[in-house]
Amino acid sequence: MTDNEQELINLIRGNDNPEQALMTATAIILDFLKQHESSEAREPVCLQALA
């Protein structure tokens, strides 16, 4: 487990409302992944597919 992952777990555990903190962290991570995915260019694996 990375230091960042461990720190996130500790922040969630130490929060006054750990359930809400976990839900918020999950939403932020999913939004980040969706944003990153949408910015990636879709390129064919095989350039011959375009010919």
- 12-39 per-position pLDDT tens digit: 999 999 999 999 999 999 999 888 776 6
Q: What per-residue confidence (pLDDT) applies to 36?
A: 74
The pTM (predicted TM-score) of the whole model is: 0.65
d(C-alpha 26, C-alpha 32), whole Å: 10
| pLDDT at residue number 10 | 97
More confident residue, 48 or 22: 22
pLDDT at 46: 62
